[in-house]
Amino acid sequence: MSFLKLDNVGRRFGALQALKDISISVEQGELRAVIGPNGAGKTTLFNLISGFFPPTEGSISFAGQPITAVSPNALVRRGIIRTFQITQVFLSLTVYENLRVAVETAMGLQLRPWISRATRAQVEAKVEELADIIRITPKLDRIVGEMSHGDQRVVEVGIALSRHPKLLLLDEPTAGMGDQETHHMTDLIRRLNKEQGITILFVEHDMAIVFGIADKITVLDNGTMLAEGTAAEISANPRVQSAYLGNALEETAV
């Protein structure tokens, strides 16, 4: 049984067919990349999986249960967590405060006027654990709005981890980053998958990253599935080369 399964999924916005006949099966523990040119339907796909709007055709299931009409909040409780193209963090707070707010919310403490010393210790321990996982402990006292874009994205991933994701959706996680920041994020994605056992579905335009870490790759084009397979299969697919990759494969090989 597939961990995440989309059967003949489509989505219309009036006369616009944004996605059509999408069938994808993602196994538990898989690291799956979704690629395609701008306008291919990648973000729409993530919006369907995360419940921001339902498909107009087909069905989606997660961990053996239908989620086609489940709300985003309910999906978060089931373990489907996502990040966005535009970073979602509290810019005026420190890294520690961002993670603490996320942990307290995940623990249902955000509306309590006070918490016990024991509970506070649990929160602090979880914040320290998250900081260690995303390797940002030395910067816990930094104001997030004063940090680099790459560090802000890492903090956002830490916030996502506070909800104990079973399926993590990352929308262009390395966009706008320099080489060192990209390396840090790529390493983090790989470690979350291999060491934490989190199933990850990510959208990415950097083919070096995609071919370097993805177990399988799904290629979208004009709202339809163009191809699916391993990095070797995708790189050798003439339809993918013609429609999307072009010189990207040559650049990746350099």
Indicate whether 249 pLDDT > 60.
no
- Sign (positive or negative) of CA dihedral 13, 14, 15, 21: positive
Average pLDDT on 142-170 reads: 97
Indicate whether 40 pLDDT > 80.
yes
Which pLDDT value is given to residue 241?
86
Q: CATH classification of 4-202+212-253, choosing from 3.20.20.70, 1.10.510.10, 3.30.565.10, 3.40.50.300?
A: 3.40.50.300
Which pLDDT value is given to residue 91?
96
Which pLDDT value is given to residue 230?
96
The token pair at 101 is 């707010």
Task: Spell 135-173 as b/e; 16+ CB within 10 A means b.
Answer: ebeebbeeebeebeebbbbbbbbbbbbbbebbbbbbbbb
Instruction: Tell which phi-psi region holds residue 58, choosing left (phi > 0), alpha (psi between -120 and 50) or beta.
Output: left
Indicate whether 49 pLDDT > 50.
yes
Percentage of the chain with pLDDT > 90? 87
Average pLDDT on 53-72 reads: 96
Which pLDDT value is given to residue 254?
44
- The model's confidence at residue 27, banded by pLDDT at 50, 70 and 90, is very high
Helix (H, G, I), strand (E, B) or coil at 80: strand
Tell me the per-residue pLDDT of 9-22, one tens digit each, with 9 for 90 and over: 999 999 999 999 99
Tell me the per-residue pLDDT of 224-248, one tens digit each, with 9 for 90 and over: 999 999 999 999 999 898 877 664 5
Indicate whether 189 pLDDT > 50.
yes
Which pLDDT value is given to residue 30?
98
Indicate whether 50 pLDDT > 70.
yes
Average pLDDT score, the chain: 93
Tell me the per-residue pLDDT of 85-94, one tens digit each, with 9 for 90 and over: 778 899 999 9
Assign 3-state DSSP to the chain and report helix, strand, coil percentages, each to 5: 40, 25, 35
Which pLDDT value is given to residue 248?
53
Q: What are the extents of the domains in the chain?
A: 4-202+212-253
- The model's confidence at residue 253, banded by pLDDT at 50, 70 and 90, is very low
Q: What angle do CA 206, 36, 52 make, to 5 degrees?
A: 105
Neighbours of 108 (CB within 10 A): 8
| Cα gap 233→217, rounded to integer Å | 9
